[in-house]
Amino acid sequence: MRRHVIPYVVLWMALTVIGLAVVGVTDLEPVQGSEEAVVVDDAFRFLVVLSVPVFAFVVVALGYSVVTFRVPGAPTADAPAVRETRAIPLVWLIVTSALAILLIVNPGITGMAALGLGGFAERPADLVVKVEAEQWNWTVTYEGLGVTLTKATEVILPAGRRVRFDVTSTDIVHSLWIPAFRVKIDAVPGLTTSVSTTPTRTGSFEADPLYRLQCAELCGTGHARMVSRVTVLEPAAFERRMAELRQRAAAP
């Protein structure tokens, strides 16, 4: 058994290094349009990096065993029971338990705290946007600004301001998803669900297709087309656009 440890560890390390190199050159993080995107991406990258040595450990164990312990021909009897490896399950139990606890604390609890989820205090919103989902449109109302965009083709948001979406549905379950912000919340009939985000930079669907409000819950034949463009403007430009939309709505 002992003589297998060193080649096994060498193979494990080699595959881990290759895996981490692949992760390093792979673009895992598209545009980060909000503060939440940074939290979510950090958690995602951490989990991916951590999974590389674990995955390599299992793959090398499998491959190494297949090659090294192969016995030609059909087996005539069971192999003798292995009794001298009590340390291996013990180490395995301790390491995997420690990793699981680490992940629960970070990025689990720390991430929830940063996002204001799971009972952690939510930061007050600068702007509340009511969103009503229906097959297959989004209707958006800017609370206190007197602007409602029925079947909105475009959702306009201010950069650097905390936005809370209060979401509901008039028919079946939909899901509000803005990929550039990494936020998602179900739209449920008879219920108001909320999700908050702070866009950090200006952006538009034309410049990056992740700037879109997309339904993320299969809701019928028009589901894939249940999309509104998202545009993030500087606060002053946002106020001007709101004023324009108010005027347009007031015009006969």
In the complex, the residues that contact Cu ion under the rule CB under 5 A are 174, 215, 219, 226
| Nearest one of 225, 205, 93, 219 to 157, comparing CA atoms | 205
| Nearest one of 224, 228, 235 to 205, comparing CA atoms | 228
Q: How far is the CB of 140 from Cu ion (least distance, A)?
A: 15
What are the start-end ranges of the H helices in the chain? 2-25, 35-68, 87-103, 110-115, 235-250
Q: How far is the CB of 222 from Cu ion (least distance, A)?
A: 8
3-state secondary structure of 189: strand
> What count of residues does the chain have?
252
Q: How far is the CB of 97 from Cu ion (least distance, A)?
A: 41
Q: Which is nearer to Cu ion, 149 or 215 (CB)?
A: 215
Decide: 176 and 185 in contact? Cβ < 8 Å. yes
Q: How far is the CB of 215 from Cu ion (least distance, A)?
A: 3
Instruction: Give the position of tokens 């702007």.
Output: 127
Q: Which is nearer to Cu ion, 60 or 219 (CB)?
A: 219
3-state secondary structure of 182: coil
Instruction: Give the position of tokens 């598209």.
Output: 30
| CA 146/CA 244 separation, integer angstroms | 11
> Starting at the edge strand that comes first in sequence, how are the strands of the sheet with 193-197 ordered?
147-149, 137-142, 127-134, 163-169, 193-197
3-state secondary structure of 242: helix
Q: Which is nearer to Cu ion, 12 or 138 (CB)?
A: 138
Q: Which is nearer to Cu ion, 35 or 132 (CB)?
A: 132
Burial pattern 224-252, b for ≥16 Cβ within 10 A else e, equals eebbbbbbbbeeeebeebbeebeeeeeee
Q: Which is nearer to Cu ion, 43 or 226 (CB)?
A: 226
Q: How far is the CB of 189 from Cu ion (least distance, A)?
A: 12
Q: How far is the CB of 145 from Cu ion (least distance, A)?
A: 25
Q: Which is nearer to Cu ion, 4 or 225 (CB)?
A: 225
Q: How far is the CB of 54 from Cu ion (least distance, A)?
A: 36
Sorted by sequence, the CB contacts under 8 Å of residue 190 that are 6+ apart come out as 168
Q: Which is nearer to Cu ion, 215 or 233 (CB)?
A: 215
